[in-house]
């Protein structure tokens, strides 16, 4: 026992000494702590966000920075794990003394860090977490969402689908919060707009399901008019691939939220199925405005690839941060949060405003259909229909109701 205690001590104390070195804090810096998943499959999304952020940050710093200070960032990898995300967030706040937190593609991490941000009074800007609870039921003064949320997806998809002739639907999706939230959102709103729709049945598979063939064949034997597929980022690609392999997309039309996004279609190359209906908040080829062309040009010059929606999120997140600090007039968490609420900036997809009641960014949605087009080695969206932000954002009453239910 004696020896064991001594050795525990020796090791623990030496470990503490080794890691003692507190990072040096430059005084003329605004430090952004970015927590995201930089390993495993979701990392491609996280890296898009980071590249967009860097692009905008470099530009801001080149033109004099914010309030005379430079923007800087540090990243931490949460490995898609809540506990690691929380530890990293605490480390960033307590040890790195960051001014604000940005990040996380994982909604569970977003919610956990949001709770911490509330306690520590540090602004937290969610970049890729899509749960509507982040700014809805669990929203608070210091949390902001720069991404579309499941409620918005539901409303947008319902509006788009109601214009199509389908009546009998089947719902299939990833068996987790995001999948169910999207499915419920689409279905409830669709039912409201077009009361004669019928739900024939549902299939739910576990997250990371490797083989979708049995699910697809079982849906095929039910013969619905259309299928609403509610898969999250990781599930989209294999599902689309299975749909192509089995010829599913030729038999039954299907809607999938991110199906037309670049991050989904690029890895599939020309193996992606055609004719899939999808919504997205951004295409590098749409809207065909000058601002978008400039952004795509700059992004391609810096990283030699097309920007995805993630890249745009990163880009405007950095711009929002800069603008909010300027509006606040000083580097102060409370003032920053107040300034960011209701703030508007110009972006490649037009002016965007952070919601006044819930701190949710009001984003328009584009619905398109996948198609092979000469000149690209992946599929792109065609027949694009714009659903304006006003029609899909959460209303003040809805936010109030969600928060009261807590």
Partner 1 sequence: MDWLSTLTAGGLVQQFIVGLSRSTILFIVSSGLSLVLGVLRIPNVAHGSLYMLGAFLCFSIASLFDNSSMGFWIGLALAPFCVAFVSLVAERTLFSRLYDREHLMLLLFTFALMLLCRDAVKIIWGSEYRSLAPPVALQGSFSVFGMLLPKYNLFLLGLGPFVAVGLWFLTQKTKIGKIARAAAVDRDMVGAVGINVSWVFAFVFVIGCFLAGLGGALVAPTQNINQGMDHTLIMEAFLIVIIGGLGNVWGALLGALIFGLTDSMGILVWPQFSIVFPYAVVVIVLIFRPTGLLKSTW
Partner 2 sequence: MGLSRASSKLVSLSFLFIGLLALSVAPLFLPRFFIYLTALVLLTGLLATSLNLALGFGGMYQFNHSVFYGLGAYGLSLMLIKTSLPPLLGYIVGPVISAIMALIMGIICVRLSKLYFGMLQLSLGSLVWVVIYRWYSFTGGDDGLHGVPIPQLFSSVTGSYYFTLVVTFFCMVILYFIVHSPFGRILQAIRDNPERSASVGIRVRLQQLIALVIAGFFAGVAGGLFVTVEGSAFPDLLSWTLSLELIIMCLLGGWFTFFGPMLGAAIIVCLRALVGGYTEFWTLALAIILMLLIYFLPEGALGFFERIWHGKASASGEVK
Any contact of residue 294 with partner 2 (CB under 8 A)?
Answer: no
Could you say which of 2, 63, 304, 405 contacts partner 2 (CB under 8 A)? 2
Q: How far apart are CA 178 and CA 149, in angstroms?
A: 9
What is the closest distance, in whole angstroms, from the C-beta atom of residue 361 to partner 2 in the complex?
20
Any contact of residue 268 with partner 1 (CB under 8 A)?
Answer: yes
How many residues touch partner 2 (CB under 8 A)?
49
- Integer-rounded Cα radius of gyration of the chain: 22
Could you say which of 94, 167, 193, 270 contacts partner 2 (CB under 8 A)? 94
**Contact assessment for residue 70 and residue 76, using Cβ atoms and an 8 Å cutoff:** no
Any contact of residue 395 with partner 1 (CB under 8 A)?
Answer: no
Any contact of residue 3 with partner 2 (CB under 8 A)?
Answer: yes
- Give the binding range for partner 2 (CB under 8 A) out of 111-119, 249-257, 346-354, 365-373: 111-119
**Contact assessment for residue 126 and residue 147, using Cβ atoms and an 8 Å cutoff:** yes
**Contact assessment for residue 352 and residue 316, using Cβ atoms and an 8 Å cutoff:** yes
Any contact of residue 332 with partner 2 (CB under 8 A)?
Answer: no
Could you say which of 73, 128, 144, 205 contacts partner 1 (CB under 8 A)? 205
Name which of 217 and 344 has its Cβ closer to partner 1.
217
Number of neighbouring beta carbons within 10 Å of residue 56:
24
Could you say which of 70, 81, 194, 251 contacts partner 1 (CB under 8 A)? 251
List the structure tokens of 68: 């005379």
What is the closest distance, in whole angstroms, from the C-beta atom of residue 103 to partner 2 in the complex?
12
Q: With residue 126 as reference, give the H or E element that holds it.
A: strand 124-126
Residue among 281, 232, 224 at smallest CA distance from 248? 224
Phi-psi domain of 326 (left: phi exceeds 0; alpha: psi -120 through 50; beta: other) = alpha
Any contact of residue 320 with partner 2 (CB under 8 A)?
Answer: no
Tokens 């991110």, residue located: 258
Report the SS3 class of residue 77: strand
Could you say which of 23, 26, 119, 218 contacts partner 2 (CB under 8 A)? 119
Contacts by 325-330, CB closer than 8 A, 24 or more apart: 325/30, 325/66, 325/67, 326/66, 326/67, 329/67, 330/67
Any contact of residue 208 with partner 1 (CB under 8 A)?
Answer: yes
How many residues touch partner 1 (CB under 8 A)?
43
- Give the binding range for partner 2 (CB under 8 A) out of 35-43, 49-57, 298-306, 379-387: 35-43
Return all residues near 375 (Cβ < 8 A) that are at least 6 apart: none
Contact characters 128-157, partner 2, x per CB under 8 A: ---x-x----x-------------------
Q: How far apart are CA 161 and CA 174, in angstroms?
A: 20
What is the closest distance, in whole angstroms, from the C-beta atom of residue 219 to partner 2 in the complex?
21
Any contact of residue 271 with partner 1 (CB under 8 A)?
Answer: yes
Q: How far apart are CA 105 and CA 86, in angstroms?
A: 14
Could you say which of 58, 267, 384, 398 contacts partner 1 (CB under 8 A)? 267
In angstroms, the first-to-last Cα distance of the chain is 50
26 binds, among partner 1, partner 2, none (CB under 5 to 8 A by kind): none
Give residues in contact with partner 2 (CB under 8 A): 1-9, 11-12, 15-16, 19, 22, 38-39, 43, 76-77, 79, 81-84, 86-88, 90-91, 94-95, 107-108, 111-112, 114-116, 118-119, 131, 133, 138, 175-177, 180, 207
């Amino acid at each position: 026992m004696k020896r064991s205690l001594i050795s525990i001590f020796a090791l623990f104390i030496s470990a503490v000494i080794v890691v003692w070195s507190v990072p040096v804090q430059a005084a003329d810096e605004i430090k952004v702590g970015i927590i995201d998943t930089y390993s495993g499959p979701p990392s491609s999304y996280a890296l898009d966000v980071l590249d967009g952020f860097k692009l905008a940050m470099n530009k801001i710093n080149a033109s004099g920075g914010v309030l005379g200070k430079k923007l800087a960032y540090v990243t931490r990898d949460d490995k898609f794990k809540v506990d690691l995300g929380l530890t990293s967030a605490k480390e960033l706040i307590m040890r790195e003394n960051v001014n604000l937190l940005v990040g996380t593609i994982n909604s569970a991490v977003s919610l956990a860090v949001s709770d911490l941000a509330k306690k520590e009074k540090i602004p937290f800007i969610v970049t890729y977490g899509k749960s509507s609870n982040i700014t809805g039921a669990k929203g608070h003064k210091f949390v902001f969402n720069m991404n579309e949320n499941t409620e918005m997806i539901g409303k947008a998809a319902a509006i788009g689908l109601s214009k199509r002739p389908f009546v009998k639907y089947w719902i299939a999706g990833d068996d987790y919060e995001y999948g169910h939230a999207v499915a419920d959102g689409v279905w409830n709103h669709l039912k409201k707009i077009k009361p004669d729709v019928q739900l024939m049945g549902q299939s739910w598979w576990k997250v990371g399901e490797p083989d979708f063939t049995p699910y697809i064949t079982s849906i095929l034997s039910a013969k619905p008019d259309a299928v609403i597929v509610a898969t999250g980022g990781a599930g989209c690609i294999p599902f689309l691939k299975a749909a192509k392999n089995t010829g599913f997309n030729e038999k039954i039309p299907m809607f999938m939220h991110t199906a037309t996004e670049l991050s989904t279609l690029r890895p599939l190359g020309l193996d992606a199925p055609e004719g899939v209906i999808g919504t997205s908040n951004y295409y590098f080829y749409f809207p065909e405005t000058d601002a978008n062309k400039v952004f795509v040009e700059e992004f391609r010059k810096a990283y030699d690839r097309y920007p995805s929606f993630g890249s745009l999120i990163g880009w405007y997140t950095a711009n929002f941060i800069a603008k909010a600090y300027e509006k606040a007039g000083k580097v102060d968490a409370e003032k920053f949060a107040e300034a960011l609420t209701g703030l508007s900036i110009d972006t490649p997809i037009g002016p965007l405003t952070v919601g006044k009641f819930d701190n949710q960014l009001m984003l328009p949605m584009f619905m398109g259909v996948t198609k092979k087009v000469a000149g690209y080695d992946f599929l792109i969206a065609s027949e694009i229909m714009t659903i304006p932000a006003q029609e899909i954002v959460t209303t003040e009453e809805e936010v109030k109701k969600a928060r009261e239910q807590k």
